[in-house]
Amino acid sequence: MRETKLKRVTAVVAAAVLIVVAATAYLRARPDDAGSAADEGRRLVQANNCTSCHSMETQETKVGPGLAGILRRGKLPVSGREATRENVRRQIIEPVRVMPSYAGRLTEEEIEHIVDYLETL
Amino acid sequence: MSLSGIVIAVLYVVLVCTPAALAVFFGRPAGDFFYEAGRSAALIGFTILVLQTVLAARWKWVSRPFGLDIVLRFHRNAAILAVVLLLSHPLLLAAGGAGAELIVSLDVPWFIWLGKMALVLLLLNVLLSGLRARLRVAFEHWRFLHDIVGPVLLGVAFVHSWVTGGDLKSPVLRTAWVVLLAGGVTTFAWHRLVRPVVQRRKAWRVTAVTRETDDVCTLELAPPEGEAGPEYLPGQFHFLTLHRGRGLPHEEHHWTISSSPTQAGRVTSTIKAIGDFTATIPDTRVGDAVSVQGAFGRFSYQLHPGERDLVFVVGGIGITPVMSMLRCMRDRQENLRVLLLYANRTESAIVFRQELEAIAAGRYPLLRVVHVLSRAGEEWTGEKGHIDREMLERYIEGDLSRKTFYICGPGPLMKATVANLKAMGVKDRQIRTELFRLID
Residues of B in contact with A24 (CB under 8 A): 20-21, 23-24, 36-37, 40
Size (chain B), residues: 440
Contact B32 A29 (CB under 8 A): yes
When scoring B28, B103, B105 by the number of chain A Cβ atoms within 10 A, the one with the most, hence best to mutate, is B28
Looking at per-residue pLDDT, the higher value among A59 and B19 belongs to: B19
pLDDT, tens digit (0-9, with 9 covering 90-100), for B276-320: 899 999 999 999 999 999 899 999 999 999 999 999 999 999 999
ipTM of the complex: 0.86
Q: Is the pLDDT of residue A109 over 80?
A: yes
Lowest mean pLDDT among A102-111, B69-78, B379-388: A102-111
- pLDDT averaged over chain B? 93
Dihedral (CA of A75, A80, A81, A84) sign: negative
Q: Quick one: average pLDDT of B148-154?
A: 95
pLDDT of residue A31: 61
Q: Nearest residue on chain A to B432, judged by CA atoms?
A: A1
The β-bridge partners of B368 are: B339
Among A4, A12, A19, A21, which would you mutate to test the B interface (most chain B Cβ atoms within 10 Å of its Cβ)?
A21
Looking at the partner chain, which of B24, B44, B99 has a beta carbon nearest the beta carbon of A49? B99
Q: How high is the pLDDT of residue B32? A: 85
Residues in chain B closer than 8 A to A49 (CB atoms): 98-99, 101-102, 108
* Interface with B, mutate which of A2, A58, A61, A118 (most B CBs under 10 A): A2
Chain B partners within 8 Å of A25 (Cβ)? 33-34, 36-37, 39-40
Rounded percentage of chain B residues whose pLDDT exceeds 70: 99
Which chain A residues are closer than 8 Å to B48 by Cβ? 17
B194/chain A closest Cα distance in angstroms = 30
Bridge pairing between strands B337-344 and B309-315: parallel
Q: Is the pLDDT of residue B138 over 90?
A: no
Distance CA B258, CA B218 (A): 9
Q: What is the pTM of this model?
A: 0.82
A14 to chain B: which residues are within 8 Å by CB?
Answer: 81
Give the pLDDT confidence of B319-337 residue by residue, as tens digits: 999 999 999 999 999 999 9
Give per-residue pLDDT as tens, B155-183.
999 999 988 887 887 899 999 999 999 99
**Alpha-carbon gap, residue A94 to A111, rounded angstroms:** 12
Q: Report d(CA B261, CA B266) in Å as an integer.
A: 9
Q: What is the pLDDT of residue A70?
A: 87
- Per-residue model confidence as pLDDT tens digits over B74-101: 999 999 999 999 999 999 988 887 778 7
What's residue B122's pLDDT? 96
Of B24, B67, B74, the CB nearest to A28: B24
pLDDT for A47-91, tens place per residue?
888 888 898 888 888 889 989 888 878 888 888 888 888 899 999
Contacts of A42 in chain B (CB under 8 A): 31, 97
List CB contacts (< 8 A) between A58 and chain B: 169
Q: Which of A10, A17, A30 sits opposite B31 (nearest CB)?
A: A30
DSSP state of B128: H
| Residue B428, min C-alpha distance to chain A (Å) | 5
pLDDT value, residue B94: 87
Across the interface, whether the CB atoms of A6 and B31 are under 8 A apart is answered no
Q: Alpha-carbon distance A71 to A64, whole Å?
A: 16
Hey, what amino acid is at B17? C
Q: What is the mean pLDDT of chain A?
A: 86
Average pLDDT over residues B367-391: 95
**Kindly report the CA angle at B324 between B322 and B330, in degrees rounded to 5?**
100
Q: What are phi and psi of B143, to 5 degrees?
A: -65, -35
Separation between Cα atoms, residue B58 and residue A91, nearest integer Å? 57
